[in-house]
């Protein structure tokens, strides 16, 4: 099958200054956790996107000088020639597949932590410090401005020498250039403060200096923030349009984003595809230079329409390029049903920001290209692919394991699921408010399974331990998932909570609510000791149906995990607008009620004082526990397993309830290593160390 002619527009080359992009697919700069410190991981991670057809591939933000140090976050640094040599590996990896390599040179100013360097943070004005960890930033002198501009030029030369085709003067997302542009953070009275031209001067001068230095060798890009719904303090779209017009002659490629990062990378729960376009698409008014903007676009039809509209020249992508590095190649070949669509869960951001190791809910290989040698599309044939395999449970872990084994050439894989529908927990989570796009995890795998002749899916069949032993499969994978506890046990309080009994109508588990069970009256407490999406999603569902919902949470803020996925602010606004009350830092320790009467919750507040509330029913989002009964039963008689010649493995939530990205990873990891010496234990992975 060939390319749909409507998508041909996406494969047109685009000239940017002295360079030409081979097509309109552009992986915008985004963090990975690799920086310059893990250059081989960086190179492999970016190179795979070039291999998959992205015409422009960028490294994350790269600091031009040591007084912009992001520790504990990892940026790329381009402070010296050694950094340049490290990043040159990425330029080479990208070039190997005919794409252009971009480096987003930046200075964080007051937003840089400087935790490691101990350098003073720099800012246009002292009052403009944004990150005030233990102190303010220093107001930049004229010498500082000259020096940072010089550092930028030096870094740009290094980038060009390292082979990069596109160098950035990063002006977005609250970093130093934005701090100069905003009158809220720039209170200067010299030539770098006051009027728009003055506030933009540092950015324009730096663009001009970088252009003078490397403009014949590299395309000059800049990243700017349009206002967006939440905006950046003091920066209005009309002013930015005027600045873009002023910069137009200096720039070969405008990379446009909105507002702050949490809005720009808004999750699918709270931001629709293309939500940035109301702002970013206005920039065409100000420049005829090539424009790239993101939109979490996953459909080539939409991408082609956006380009055809003339508002942008390139489809910018971070998250979709992580979920499927081979999207362009699949579009070109007309293999649209093989595209792994981004879920917009932002677990990539959680992984790279929190753990400095990017990952993905859809693509288990993201970030594993170098250290585990995993390729997203090419899977080596397994040496034991002739053996029958039984996978018990078709949740994310079981599904991913089955698909990966099928792609490795296994010819007799049975994926057996107790429920009538595949998907495991996602089968019901995807039906909760705001969580529909997470269903793409199941949909993608359902399509792949249907085309893998070696994998058979059997639904509506709950296997017992005896049936598993007798099944005839020498490889058995338990992917039986986990269940929310109904007994009220919670972190820090491991014993059952008095009165917590899901058999009474006023105590409900998430699964019961998802199945349509409702408390006996309208006043509902959702008790959240979990801290991620489940509590708020169930509260949202019940509030939409007319319940008067209060979330009582053990955490000082609602859903702290959502801050790691950049969703916290939007989630709290959403909950507030839904009319849901929130009680923070409160632990429920007992439930008392009599049939037909009110339900009293008692516990302690944030000061360890007695706390109580009255309601008609409580939903317990306290803790999950692994469905490990089958495993316990099977391993109780190791002799019987051995006699049956069975190797038994456990993956996903059945092992320990975790993020969905980790269940996918688990399923993939086992299938990748199923012909290794000890598949139960992850094989060692390559680490980048001195002397290697």
CB 26 within 8 A of CB 320: no
Instruction: Say if strands 599-604 and 587-593 run parallel, antiparallel, or are unpaired.
Output: antiparallel
* Closest distance to ligand ADP from the beta carbon of 85 (Å): 42
Q: Which two tokens stand for residue 481?
A: 């998932």
Nearest C-alpha neighbor of 349 from the set 341, 361, 358, 340: 358
Nearer to ligand ADP, 448 or 482 (CB): 482
> Which secondary-structure segment (H or E) carries 220?
strand 219-226
DSSP per residue over 251-314, as a string? Answer: -SEEEEEESSHHHHT--TTT--TTTTHHHHGGGGGT--S-EEEE-----HHHHHHHHHTTS-SE
Stretch that binds ligand ADP, among 129-137, 174-182, 362-370, 652-660 (CB under 6 A): 652-660
Stretch that binds ligand ADP, among 18-26, 410-418, 549-557, 582-590 (CB under 6 A): 410-418
Our CA angle for 628, 633, 634, nearest 5°, is: 100
Nearer to ligand ADP, 1 or 632 (CB): 632
Residue 638 CB contacts under 8 Å (≥ 6 apart), including other chains: none
Asked if 559 touches ligand ADP (CB under 6 A), the answer is no
* Closest distance to ligand ADP from the beta carbon of 360 (Å): 15
Asked if 663 touches ligand ADP (CB under 6 A), the answer is yes
Q: Which of 61, 175, 271, 297 is catalytic?
A: 175
Asked if 359 touches ligand ADP (CB under 6 A), the answer is no
Q: Name which position in 395, 406, 510, 535 contacts ligand ADP (CB under 6 A).
A: 395
* Closest distance to ligand ADP from the beta carbon of 363 (Å): 16
Asked if 661 touches ligand ADP (CB under 6 A), the answer is no
Stretch that binds ligand ADP, among 81-89, 346-354, 396-404, 503-511 (CB under 6 A): 396-404
26 is catalytic: no
Return the residue matching tokens 């990892």: 74
Beta strands per DSSP E along 499-598:
507-508, 523-528, 548-553, 581-583, 587-593
Stretch that binds ligand ADP, among 12-20, 477-485, 504-512, 681-689 (CB under 6 A): 477-485
Stretch that binds ligand ADP, among 312-320, 337-345, 386-394, 563-571 (CB under 6 A): 386-394
Applying CB under 6 A, the site for ligand ADP has a residue count of 25
Asked if 419 touches ligand ADP (CB under 6 A), the answer is yes
Q: Which two tokens stand for residue 440?
A: 């793409």
Nearer to ligand ADP, 162 or 391 (CB): 391
Asked if 469 touches ligand ADP (CB under 6 A), the answer is no
* Closest distance to ligand ADP from the beta carbon of 545 (Å): 25
List 599's β-bridge partners, or say none. 593, 615
Q: Which two tokens stand for residue 46?
A: 């970016």
Q: Name which position in 259, 266, 344, 481 contacts ligand ADP (CB under 6 A).
A: 481
Q: How far apart are CA 35 and CA 31, in angstroms?
A: 8
3-class state of residue 600 by DSSP? strand
3-class state of residue 469 by DSSP? helix
* Closest distance to ligand ADP from the beta carbon of 505 (Å): 24
Q: How far apart are CA 431 and CA 230, in angstroms?
A: 28
Q: Name which position in 652, 661, 669, 679 contacts ligand ADP (CB under 6 A).
A: 652
Nearer to ligand ADP, 341 or 417 (CB): 417
Chain positions contacting ligand ADP, by CB under 6 A = 392-398, 416-419, 424-425, 462-463, 479-482, 627, 630, 652-654, 663
Catalytic residues: 175
């Amino acid at each position: 099958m060939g390319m749909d002619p409507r998508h041909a527009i996406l494969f047109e080359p685009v000239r940017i200054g002295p360079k030409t992009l081979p097509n309109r697919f552009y992986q915008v700069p985004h963090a990975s956790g690799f920086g310059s410190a893990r250059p081989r991981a960086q190179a492999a991670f970016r190179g795979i996107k070039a291999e998959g057809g992205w015409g422009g591939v960028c490294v994350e933000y790269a600091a031009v000088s040591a007084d912009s140090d992001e520790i504990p976050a990892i940026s790329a640094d381009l402070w010296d020639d050694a950094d340049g040599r490290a990043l040159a590996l990425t330029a080479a990896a990208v070039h190997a597949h005919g794409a252009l390599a971009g480096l987003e040179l930046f200075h964080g100013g007051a937003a840089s932590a400087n935790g490691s360097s101990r350098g003073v943070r720099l800012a246009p004005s002292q009052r403009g410090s944004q990150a005030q960890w233990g102190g303010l930033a220093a107001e930049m002198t004229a010498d500082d401005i000259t020096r940072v501009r010089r550092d930028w030029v030096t870094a740009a030369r290094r980038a060009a020498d390292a082979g990069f085709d596109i160098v950035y003067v990063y002006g977005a997302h609250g970093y130093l250039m934005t701090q100069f542009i905003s009158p809220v953070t720039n209170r200067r009275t010299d030539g770098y403060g006051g009027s728009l031209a003055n506030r933009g001067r540092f950015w324009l001068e730096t663009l001009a200096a970088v252009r003078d230095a490397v403009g014949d060798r590299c395309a000059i890009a800049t990243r700017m923030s349009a206002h967006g719904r939440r905006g950046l303090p003091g920066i209005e779209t009309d002013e930015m349009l005027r600045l873009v017009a002023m910069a137009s002659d200096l720039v070969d490629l405008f990379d446009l984003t909105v507002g702050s990062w949490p809005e720009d990378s808004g999750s699918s729960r709270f931001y629709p595809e293309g939500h940035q376009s109301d702002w970013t698409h206005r920039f065409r008014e100000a420049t005829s230079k090539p424009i790239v903007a993101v939109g979490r676009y996953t459909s080539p039809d939409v991408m082609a329409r956006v380009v055809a509209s003339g508002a942008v020249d390139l489809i910018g992508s971070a998250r979709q390029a992580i979920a499927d590095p081979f999207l362009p190649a699949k579009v070109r070949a007309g293999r649209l049903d093989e595209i792994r669509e981004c879920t917009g869960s932002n677990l990539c951001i959680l992984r790279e920001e929190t753990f400095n190791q990017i990952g993905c809910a859809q693509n288990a290989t993201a970030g594993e290209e170098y250290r585990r040698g995993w390729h997203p599309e090419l899977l080596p044939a397994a040496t034991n692919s002739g053996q029958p395999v039984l996978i018990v449970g078709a949740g994310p872990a079981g599904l991913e394991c089955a698909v990966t084994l099928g792609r490795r050439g296994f010819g007799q894989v049975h994926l057996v699921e107790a429920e009538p529908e595949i998907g495991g927990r996602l089968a019901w989570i995807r039906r909760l408010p705001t969580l529909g796009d997470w269903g793409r995890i199941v949909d993608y795998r359902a399509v792949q399974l249907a085309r893998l002749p070696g994998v058979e899916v059997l639904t509506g069949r709950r296997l017992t331990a005896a049936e598993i032993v007798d099944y005839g499969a020498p490889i058995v994978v338990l992917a039986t998932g986990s269940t929310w506890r109904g007994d009220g046990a919670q972190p820090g309080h491991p014993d059952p909570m008095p009165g917590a009994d899901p058999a009474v109508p006023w105590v409900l588990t998430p699964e019961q609510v998802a199945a349509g069970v409702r408390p006996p009256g309208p006043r509902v407490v959702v008790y959240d000791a979990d801290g991620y999406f489940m509590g708020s999603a169930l509260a949202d569902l019940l509030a939409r149906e007319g319940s008067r919902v209060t979330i009582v949470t053990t955490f000082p803020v609602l859903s702290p995990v959502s801050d790691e996925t950049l969703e916290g602010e939007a989630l709290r606004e959403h909950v507030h607008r839904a009319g849901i009350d929130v009680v923070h830092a409160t632990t429920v320790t007992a439930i008392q009620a009599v049939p037909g009467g009110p339900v009293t919750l008692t516990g302690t507040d944030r000061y360890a004082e007695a706390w109580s509330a009255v309601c008609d029913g409580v939903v317990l989002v306290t803790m999950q526990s692994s469905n490990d009964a089958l495993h316990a039963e099977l391993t109780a008689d190791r002799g019987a397993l051995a006699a049956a010649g069975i190797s038994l493995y456990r993956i996903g939530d059945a092992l320990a309830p975790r993020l969905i990205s980790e269940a996918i990873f688990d399923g993939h990891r086992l299938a990748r290593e199923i012909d290794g010496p000890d598949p139960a234990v992850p094989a060692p992975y390559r680490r980048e160390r001195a002397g290697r």
